[in-house]
Amino acid sequence: MTAPLRRVTQRDIARMAGVSQATVSLVLNNRTDADVRIAPETRDRVLRVIAETGYAADPVARRLASRFNRIIGVFTYEPAFPSGSRDFFHPFLLGIEEYAERVGCDLLLFTSAPVVDGRRRIFHQDNRLRLADGCILLGREIDGAELQRLNGDGYPYVAVGRRDDAGGPVPYVGADYAAAVARLVEAALRHGHRRLTYVGMGMTAESSQDRRQGFGAAAATAESARQVSAAPGAADATLDDLLADGSTAAFVEDFATAVALEAAARRRGLTVPGDLSIVTLGDPTVPVPTDIVFTGFRIPREEMGRQSVEVLTGVIDGSAGGLQQRLLPCELVEGSTLGTPDPAVDRP
Amino acid sequence: MTAPLRRVTQRDIARMAGVSQATVSLVLNNRTDADVRIAPETRDRVLRVIAETGYAADPVARRLASRFNRIIGVFTYEPAFPSGSRDFFHPFLLGIEEYAERVGCDLLLFTSAPVVDGRRRIFHQDNRLRLADGCILLGREIDGAELQRLNGDGYPYVAVGRRDDAGGPVPYVGADYAAAVARLVEAALRHGHRRLTYVGMGMTAESSQDRRQGFGAAAATAESARQVSAAPGAADATLDDLLADGSTAAFVEDFATAVALEAAARRRGLTVPGDLSIVTLGDPTVPVPTDIVFTGFRIPREEMGRQSVEVLTGVIDGSAGGLQQRLLPCELVEGSTLGTPDPAVDRP
DNA sequence: TCGCCGTGCTAATACGTATTAGCATCTATG
DNA sequence: CATAGATGCTAATACGTATTAGCACGGCGA
């Protein structure tokens, strides 16, 4: 083991080439402004020494001196790994990674952010946000107070998924849930469904609100359009509720709940979609094994990742005018769980 | 939009608290050495101002001044995303992420490294390795010259997967392929197989060498133990070759090749494992759909990721003595493709 | 009274780069 | 031959933090 030799610096290069440190920096950055002139021989000499030594500028010092780092931060607003939802977030990361590579940025995952009260916190004692030029926020729910603080600090960021204003507009790249749900509702109406039920997970997350709003708007002409809440574990109770209401189509926010509901229906001898149509409203957030292809839609996760980087770079260099909020369309999935309801019969 | 307000610095805090910048730094770092003393009242005053302003030290400046960054770099030595192998590498990343979180480090993905001649390069014009305190290297094949350079520079790194020396020992966390393959060969011998064939992908990667070595050592007592090379596309030719040789068991390095081989055998009316046993030597590196559970082993990818971070932190702070090379055991998979060979019959 | 020590803090400097004002030197021009 | 302008480079400084030598002050013992 040799002693950790000191890093080669611009000073060393300068000494070797017989110039000043400033000249090395100018050559390195290929500055050719009108008021910065380097003789070709000098430039070559410096470049030769750089090549010989294999010198590379220290990015940390560079960042301190100038303004940017070419680093994009990624903050995952979910409890620690390993968690069931990690597969759900992976495609976002792939898109982010792909676009970051294209624009020549490195990606900093803020794995060091501590978990307090079951969720990650951006702001804490030893906040490291500034390592990156800007940050992408991932997660089902994002604390509005933290968004507000980011806005206040003028820190460049983009949320993946639409977010309500928080002390100003929040830049985001989201999925157009409202439109996707509306199209599914319309499809159900065309199939002859008249009593629809939205089976949701909660009310707070923007992604839930958007789905509910799309449902409510599109189902306005139906005979009945209710919204209830349910969890995967309560599938039987949910099924009872649907049957009691006479609903023929369930729009289920959570994929796992849809799977459980279908299984419960089958156990009772009901057919899907004959006795009950089940529509899912997005990809599984936790892994659920099933052989059935549910009718529903797909969230353009990779594309959202890509575009979030695109928007972020715009926010960082200030070139993003009003284009800081985007909603991407979701692709509908033609599954086997939405169909024409059987003529009403007395059900047990 | 407000003008991008200047960052709050220690100077600002110092001014507000009526102390010097140095004092702020000392308070912030909770220094309580014998020769550094801060009166409790002063400390409280500074801390109060810090809390009020929400100040957080700039990690970049901190890194420039001190030595460490609490950033672990991850270099993926594969061509750009999207590539088929990304799912193979995901579990490594999960392990890395998990352990990084535990030790409070952030993760820097070097997505900016350019691809030259079909592979990523660590060293290039605008080398950013120094952003991180150390680096984890991922990839099937890693350029020995680059490892040598890392060793020469004294840059802390760890390879995931065993690597040959390169101007010195290479720190790594690998999988013990030799032992895993040897156990599978022994199982085949116990089943009565006498003519074995290793179906490989190449000779250069260390992971291939280790498997071949384990095969060769354990199969020494067999009547015949050959090694051939093959690709998934040439499954029929490979099958011909196996039958001509009279091999009853194929040890297939590449998962996709194993799947193709089984399909080819089935098309010819052969049974697996009756007519031919097929053993796989690791997880799929590209996604291959199959319903069959192949006998083989599982690479402890998440654990390798975790331990690579552990080793790296040791290398960085110099506390890792001789423990810089680890081989982890692979878990055997009891599949349905290794069995007792049918009594030899004339095959078409 | 002097020296000594402990206490609490600050001034100065280093880290490695980018930027800018400006100093020499040389050439062209009147 | 004085001067203006172009050319090629450097000195100085900023970025924000960590570290260290050392200053000022008060109390205490001799």
| Tens digit of each residue's pLDDT (9 = 90 or more) over A129-152 | 888 889 999 988 888 999 998 888
Which of the residues B1, B25, B109 would you substitute to probe the A interface, choosing the one with the greatest number of A C-beta atoms within 10 Å? B109
Task: Choose between A329 and A35: higher pLDDT.
Answer: A329
pLDDT of residue A2: 37
What residues pair up with A173 in beta bridges, in sequence order?
A: A160, A326
Q: Among A62-76, A212-226, B107-121, where is mean pLDDT lowest?
A: B107-121
pLDDT of residue A181: 97
pLDDT of residue B311: 95
* A249-252 sheet: strands from edge to edge: A224-229, A195-200, A249-252, A277-280
Which of the residues B58, B62, B131 would you substitute to probe the A interface, choosing the one with the greatest number of A C-beta atoms within 10 Å? B131
Task: Choose between B112 and B182: higher pLDDT.
Answer: B182
- Answer yes or no: do A5 and B154 touch at CB < 8 A: yes
pLDDT of residue A212: 96
pLDDT of residue A16: 94
Tell me the CA end-to-end span of chain B in Å, nearest whole number: 79
Q: How far, in whole angstroms, is CA B12 from its chain's centroid?
A: 44
Q: How far, in whole angstroms, is CA A135 from its chain's centroid?
A: 12
Alpha helices in chain B (DSSP H): 10-17, 21-28, 40-53, 59-65, 86-103, 144-153, 177-190, 206-218, 235-245, 255-267, 301-316
Q: Strand C: list protein residues with Cβ under 7 Å.
A: A 6-7, 9-11, 21-22, 25-26, 28-29, 31, 35-36, 57-58, 61-62, 64-66; B 18-23, 26, 35-39, 41-43, 61, 64-65
Alpha-carbon distances of A201 from A124, A184, A239, A285, B308, rounded to whole Å:
30, 18, 15, 12, 39
Q: Which residues of B touch A312 (CB under 8 A)?
A: none
Model confidence band, residue A57 (pLDDT cutoffs 50, 70, 90): confident
pLDDT of A283 higher than 80: yes
Minimal Cα–Cα distance from A262 to chain B, Å? 24
Q: β-pairing, A224-229 with A195-200? A: parallel
Per-residue pLDDT reduced to its tens digit, A147-198: 998 888 888 999 999 999 999 999 999 999 999 999 999 999 999 999 999 9
Name the residue among B69, B90, B111 with its Cβ closest to that of A100.
Answer: B111
Q: Which residues of A touch B101 (CB under 8 A)?
A: 80-81, 111-112
Residue reference for tokens 């810090």:
B50
Over range B154-177, report the average pLDDT.
94
Q: Which residues of B touch A104 (CB under 8 A)?
A: 112
Over range A38-66, report the average pLDDT.
90
The whole-model pTM stands at 0.87
Q: Among A172-176, B17-21, B34-38, where is mean pLDDT lowest?
A: B34-38
pLDDT of B139 higher than 70: yes
Over range B269-273, report the average pLDDT.
92
pLDDT of A68 higher than 90: no
